[in-house]
């Protein structure tokens, strides 16, 4: 798993946007994303096939 600066920035912006209305929901979403990412080493085929060849 490689996090690009853009991906980190996007995640931060999403969190901030949601947190403006509901900080708890924003943290819940970040936690859910983190949990899904932690599963990737054990389940590398998790998720749908990406638009770019070799990605998910």
Give the integer Cα–Cα distance in Å for 35 and 17: 21
- Residues near 18 by beta carbon (within 8 Å), at least 6 away in sequence: 25, 26, 29
Model pLDDT, residue 20: 98
- What pLDDT is attached to residue 11? 95
Does 3 score more than 90 pLDDT?
A: no
To the question of pTM greater than 0.75 for the whole model, the response is no
pLDDT, one tens digit per residue, over 5-55 is 999 999 999 999 999 999 999 999 999 999 988 898 898 887 778 888 877
């Amino acid at each position: 798993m490689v996090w690009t600066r853009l991906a980190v920035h996007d995640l931060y912006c999403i969190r901030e946007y949601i947190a403006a209305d509901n900080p708890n929901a924003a943290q819940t979403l970040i936690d859910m994303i983190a949990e899904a990412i932690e599963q990737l080493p054990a389940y590398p085929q998790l998720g749908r096939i990406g638009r770019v060849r070799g990605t998910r």
